[in-house]
Structure 1
């Protein structure tokens, strides 16, 4: 950096230089930011990239409107007691140093507990304490360090921001320049300079030089505006010691421009400005096609693949009805049971709210709410049943964001290398090696062809088609799975699903269905008060057996429990009007010496006195035998159940011979079992009901939660399968494997194209403009192949 450049922002400051700490600054704003960073031990910011900042603007009074509480409430994503979360659009985010400083805001303001950057969207998510700071103070801090947020009326009205049209502008400029350069190149194409009888001397003397310099002029905005993203990406990759796919593209553009400029300066020839502008135009056209197609796929998935979570709506006549959450309207009265997710913002009406907002804020301490308090979407009720009134309709996109929230993302995917990651670096090295080797050969054999060969190789062997194969294939499969009621968290889950070699299934609520279960009672008769307390205690629970028994019992008056506790894997406890009841396993209710029962049983004790048990006759899901038989041919399968061995003989008759069956497994046992399999090198899929199996779902390589009517939401799972599609689970796994084959075939097609093109490029027979046209066409053909192939694969799914 020049000594006359500002140390913070890089602007020229020869007119009014300021000196501080042996460094030069263009204004007090940049000097102040440097002082802030230095005093807070954040000077590493400048090591990431020199002159990375931007000049802070004077903003006195600009954000006074943020003192208005109603405006802040509309802008905030989450507000509760002392905590607030806000998403801000930061246009100045442009490099790794920006990300680093913005994710270390807590060092500048200790009242900020966390800040996360979404670099592609240039969004900053900030969690801060409202007791010691405010949104205005945080916005002013951001503005003072050069990252002023853009806050508009659209944010206040919760509307989406306008679409970034920069790619469209670049495509337009490149297309305009390409067309004009081609037009100006016609005399060169027809070689008028050698045709003296048709005015060749006139062309040669009068206009040849003018036309060539006009072509040079048209190429400038193409290279330095339309094509700059390739240079920036290549530079950042090389600076990070990473060879990305934009390196050979940037090299091709740069070499073409320099060679063409030298040719017209020294009058060696017309240059390759038509090839250059054509290359950038078709590259941008391919990128535009990719952006439009992939955004369509993403939109279609976001719209259709809502979470299959239902909620209980209380009708005006007091009856309860199960409804899909996307039908919730403002004013609806909802019943939320223990461990259920709050689907919309609302007001707590009855019940004791003990709400876990860790999904939203990352803080594990539950928040206690009383009647009349506001509760927010994304929280999870932890203490019995509550009733609430919806204040707005559900936002599926918010739940999608919640599912992928980095707050509870673990290292499951960080250790997993995608197929594109594994091939991209090798391919780039391969291309550059061929380019330099071929160039060295032609420099020795015929130096006049060396530059042409070098540029042709870099253009024809660009790995863009390979980079497109995976996102288009997996993105389309994500949409197809969603259409078939199999909802996956992200595209990486498909790749991991294709590698599964072991499948572990829970029993109750997973391979059994609660819809057709029957139960008989054995024991002392329950009093009317005990029946009412039992019914209301079951009403607050989400366990499959609780739901089944609740539906089987006769209607009772709804009462609010004084106490409710759910002990995962053991049972539930409820208390009202000095009466207590326990429902669950025999040991949980205090019946240790019970007779051995050969069926699934739910035991009951009232005021510490054992009353009896409900014996269930399990109803297994349709097609379970066929599913396990087909799956066991290629995948090791096993059953892990928390129940006793009462169903062992029946399961042995239903499942393939020698299928491992494990009973009396507590949640922690399931987790350890999966861990031990993974230590043996197994790729494990866990299929559970999402309640008792949360730990096992999180530990597995792929965790699938089965959804049936009302279910709890667990971000520990990687996918949610509608219970009606349970028998199709293996076909989804096979489809994932076939999707990976489609990607590999796409690689083969791309490599075949490159092999043919490289032959002509290396031998000096390939014109750069033809290569510039063929390359984006190859990308489009790969996209077409993957889209058609995945759609055919999708039609085969039932």
Structure 2
């Protein structure tokens, strides 16, 4: 008897059939969801996959608890006067249709401005206007369209939802099946011919078939899904031949036991999936070890300035601490342009907060004393003092770094090595399989299908798929040990492919902690020096920080007005007295400097006072670093300072190094863009302050971090300043990693050539397949792990020896 299926969810309608718009539904809920989607012109949802939806659950009263402010506080990632952001775990996310509908929520509800799906974690991050729309209404909307979120406050507090345990379950099932199938295969491996084997042979084979079912239909499903999506997008990714190999293994093995032609390849099938999952598991563990969101106590170069007040004298002192040392109740100084790294309350100062790092909206928000501030906002108006209401969640800063708001076309334009090779690998294997089948069709037709399937089985690129993530993940870990932190593993490949290095000068190749500073001009009175000190206190520029440390302690005041003009200088006002600090052309009546050093000019109340002269101290080893890089790379320095250092730099930098001075931030960006238009792969190395545009434009943006808060989502990597002279070693290690990956591919191809010989010649037996497939996977993994460890440590040790 034929049963009708629901157009929306695919379930059997049984006796209840609801017809609407010439379609059949199993309940009013599914019909309502269809009506909502079709009335909002979202019918494409059903074109992506047949019956992709889920039956909505009854929600009456279920989510009333979301009206409670205390519970909202736990669940919301961000909330302000008009914007709220929540990240919800949606168990039903399973296909491209789910991603499509969840990222088009704004079409169903105009109050929702953005929604982003994290498919591996099955979460959706929703930004909405809370003026006329609430968290409860967000959840009810998701429920109405069949994407009921799983909400557990305990899970949210512990962040358990981000841990994907499915890989553990799949690995356990595949390992159990692999062990049992191998055990059942032993008698036939050794061609045991006793009576008991003949009697139980068929039972053993069907047991192996049974063990393979969950391996194929549950453990392997991600490879089939990925292959399907790749083919639909007209891309031959690495999962296409893997999925094809698994499918052919299963179908041929099933056919062999049905027609009593042999024992099949169930051992190879379960072993293949087990080792693939094992590789994925180790990769996940490797990233978990490195992941800042799970191991935030590993050094992450973001520091903040904590303010301490002496209880007896009431004097304030400042100290730099790492963000993970922030405790509830700590008083923190946030300078102009700095990121707020912890949820807090505004204590003092004029706060103009840019939350675009969190929300994507560039409109600034004004806050007054006592208002709550959220981590991720950037202060745009002088310095403020805040009091932490929580200890820092480094995971949140990491989410911010990889937020989709800041994703440019860098990764889209970059095709990694594995996908490039896998495309040609897949085409080659299919051609070999086709040619071998044609040959055997004419030579011995009985072996044609056997040869075709054998080629696809033995050439399955499991080792090819595993070598790259293992090698890159291991090198990522080694880089982290040497205080070089990358946003993701693909940055290693891009580092290896770079041919141009551009450096900022101040704060990058120079150190703001070692500058010799002298003053030339009219002495400042106490009030002017206090105003200068507090103006410098609000800035995060390296020269401002160095000068701030030099001046005598002054009473800390809240400025009435402050503006920092990027690449030019600052102006501030307090009690009707004004000051300008910065470049000669910015400061009123400033006399242009003929000094060979960097200068900072000062005027108060439109009257020029004088200048501070900085004798730049270049980082130790910079000259040797440039000498190592010259010849291999095009080198350049982009500086916002004057040309005073040009002669000095030309005398000890390699010939051909591009030196550009008086560069505004937009000019730096334009220069990087012009290089890229000439097909150059550019690494930009800066301090993250005036270089944000250039860092974002470059192929790889590296921020050099001192003891200041230079965190910027524009960068791809953060390098501790103490490791600056290792840049050459890091690039060499990246190149070496790619060589190791390529050599592992050759090793994998070597195994494939041996296997293909047996397959094409019609001699592939289960024993050969069972030996070659796991051997190739295990040996490639051991190979890349040992070599990346050896090469990475060798390069770093050689640097230490030269340094000593």
Judge same fold: TM > 0.5, yes or no.
Answer: yes
Q: 1:12 to 1:644 in 2, by over 3 A?
A: same
Give SS of 1:514's match: coil
1:529 to 527, 530, 537: 527
- Asked whether 1:776 is paired with 2:774, we answer yes
The answer for the alignment partner of 1:352 in structure 2 is: 350
Higher mean alpha-carbon deviation, 6-15 vs 716-725, is at: 6-15
For residues 186 and 495 of structure 2, the distance between their equivalents in structure 1, rounded to whole angstroms, comes to 55
Instruction: Give the deviation of 1:175 after TM superposition.
Output: 4.7
Q: Contact between 1:279 and 1:772, CA under 8 Å: does it hold in 2?
A: yes
| d(CA) in 1 for partners of 2:280, 2:208 | 29
Instruction: Write the deviation string for residues 416-458 of structure 1: whole angstroms up to 9, x where unpaired.
Output: 1111121122211211222232233223322333333233222
* Alignment counterpart, residue 285 of structure 2, candidates 285, 296, 303: 296
Out of 288, 292, 303, the position equivalent to 1:310 is 303
Q: State the partner residue of 1:29.
A: 29
Are the equivalent residues in 2 in contact too, given 1:249–1:458 (CA < 8 A)? no
Corresponding residue number in structure 2 for 1:365: 363
Which residue in 1 is equivalent to 2:123? 123
Alignment equivalent of 1:284, drawn from 247, 269, 273: 273
Q: Distance in 1 between matches of 2:706 and 2:176?
A: 56
Q: 1:441 aligns with which of 424, 439, 442?
A: 439
CA distance in 2, matches of 1:175, 1:293: 15
Q: Distance in 1 between matches of 2:422 and 2:146?
A: 35
The within-5 A match list for 1:32-431 is 32-161=32-161, 163-178=163-178, 180-181=180-181, 200=195, 212-266=205-259, 268-272=260-264, 275-276=265-266, 278-302=267-291, 303=295, 306-317=299-310, 318-431=316-429
Corresponding residue pairs, total: 786
Residues 589, 607 of structure 2: 8 Å contact kept: no
State the Cα distance separating 1:54 from its structure 2 match: 1.3
Separation in 2, partners of 1:269, 1:436: 23
Tell me the equivalent position of 1:729: 727
Q: Does 1:759 align with 2:791?
A: no
Contact 1:20 1:31 in 2 (8 A): yes
8 A contact 1:443–1:450 mirrored in 2: yes
Residues 309-338 of structure 1, C-alpha deviation per residue, up to 9 Å, x if partnerless? Answer: 211111232211111112111111111111
Moved more, 224-233 or 63-72: 224-233
1:495 aligned to which of 489, 493, 497: 493
Partner of 2:596: 598
- CA deviation vs aligned residue, 1:523-563 (integer Å, no higher than 9, x gap): 11211111111111111111111111111111111111001
Which residue matches 2:313?
none
Q: How does 1:356-755 map to 2 (within 5 A)?
A: 356-591=354-589, 593-594=591-592, 596-755=594-753
- Of 44-53 and 775-784, deviating more is 775-784
Deviation (angstroms), 1:617: 1.1
Q: Contact 1:498–1:734 (CA<8 Å) still a contact in 2?
A: yes
Q: How far did residue 487 of structure 1 move?
A: 1.6
1:435, 1:458 within 8 Å by CA — same for their partners in 2?
Answer: yes
Q: C-alpha distance in 2, partners of 1:375/1:514?
A: 30
CA distance in 2, matches of 1:254, 1:537: 68
**Counterparts of 2:569 and 2:356 in 1: how far apart (Å)?**
24
Contact 1:509 1:544 survives alignment (8 Å): yes
Give, in angstroms, the shift of residue 575 of structure 1: 0.7
- Contact 1:459–1:775, Cα closer than 8 Å, also in 2: no
Q: Is the 8 A contact 1:339 1:712 kept in 2?
A: no
Distance 2:730 2:184 in 1: 56
Q: Distance in 2 between matches of 1:577 and 1:283?
A: 75
Give the secondary structure class of the aligned counterpart of 1:161. Answer: helix
TM-fit CA distance, 1:214: 4.8
Alpha-carbon distance in 2 for matches of 1:129, 1:409: 23
Cα distance in 2 for residues equivalent to 1:622 and 1:231 = 53
Shift of 1:176: 4.5
Report how far residue 253 of structure 1 moved. Answer: 4.1
Contact 2:245 2:460 in 1 (8 A): no
- Structure 1's 453 and 123: CA in aligned 2 closer, same or farther, altered over 3 A? same
Q: Give the secondary-structure state (helix, strand or coil) at the position aligned to 1:652.
A: helix
- Contact preservation (8 Å) 1:511, 1:620: yes
Tell me how far apart the structure 1 counterparts of residues 515 and 204 of structure 2 sit (CA, whole Å). Answer: 84
Call closer, same or farther: CA 1:179–1:327 in 2, change over 3 Å: closer
Shift, 1:711, TM fit: 3.6
CA distance in structure 1 between the aligned counterparts of 2:778 and 2:439, rounded to whole angstroms:
33
Q: Is contact 1:456-1:771 (8 Å) kept? A: no
SS at match of 2:611: strand
Whole-angstrom distance in 1 between the partners of 2:681 and 2:429:
34
Q: Is the 8 A contact 2:337 2:378 kept in 1?
A: yes
Per-residue deviation, 1:235: 3.9
Q: CA deviation at 1:263?
A: 4.6
Identify which range, 688-697 or 153-162, moves more after superposition. 153-162
Q: CA deviation at 1:390?
A: 1.1
Task: Give SS of 1:516's match.
Answer: coil
1:249 CA displacement: 3.9
User: Cα offset for 1:259?
Assistant: 4.1
Residue-by-residue CA offset, 1:680-729 (whole Å, 9 max, x unaligned):
22112222121111111112111222111114222112222111111111
Cα drift, residue 371 of structure 1: 1.1
Deviates more, 1:514-523 or 1:172-181: 172-181
Q: From the superposition, tell whether residues 587 and 250 of structure 1 become closer, same or farther in structure 2 (CA, over 3 Å).
A: closer
Q: 1:177 to 1:291 in 2, by over 3 A?
A: closer
Decide whether aligned partners of structure 1 residues 9 and 604 sit closer, same or farther in structure 2, where only a CA change above 3 A counts: same
Following superposition, the deviation at residue 625 of structure 1 comes to: 1.0
> Separation in 2 of the partners of 1:537 and 1:609?
17
Matched residue SS, 1:131: coil
User: Is 146-155 or 169-178 further displaced after alignment?
Assistant: 169-178
**Conserved? CA contact 2:215–2:273, under 8 Å:** no
| Residues in 1 aligned to 2:336 and 2:728: alpha-carbon distance in whole angstroms | 32
Q: Specify whether residues 233 and 437 from structure 1 end up closer, same or farther in structure 2 by C-alpha distance, changes over 3 A only.
A: same
Q: What's the secondary structure of 2:411's corresponding residue?
A: coil
Checking the alignment, whether the CA contact within 8 Å between 1:338 and 1:540 is kept in structure 2 is yes
- Asked if structure 2 preserves the Cα contact closer than 8 Å seen for 1:231 and 1:246, the reply is yes
- Measure, in 2, the Cα distance between the counterparts of 1:237 and 1:85: 32
CA contact (8 A) 1:508 1:641 kept: yes
CA deviation after TM superposition for structure 1 residue 137, in Å: 0.9
Query: CA–CA distance in 1 between the matches of 2:771 and 2:700?
Result: 42
Deviation per residue, 1:235-289 (Å, 9 max, x gap): 44444444344444444444444444445545x44441xx22x233212321332
Distance 2:211 2:504 in 1: 66
CA contact (8 A) 1:452 1:768 kept: no
Q: 1:593 to 1:285 in 2, by over 3 A?
A: same
Runs of 5+ consecutive residues of structure 1 not aligned to the other structure:
none
Q: How far off is 1:218 after superposition?
A: 4.5
Report the 3-state secondary structure (helix = DSSP H, G, I; strand = E; otherwise coil) of the residue aligned with 1:509. helix
Q: Distance in 1 between matches of 2:227 and 2:667?
A: 49
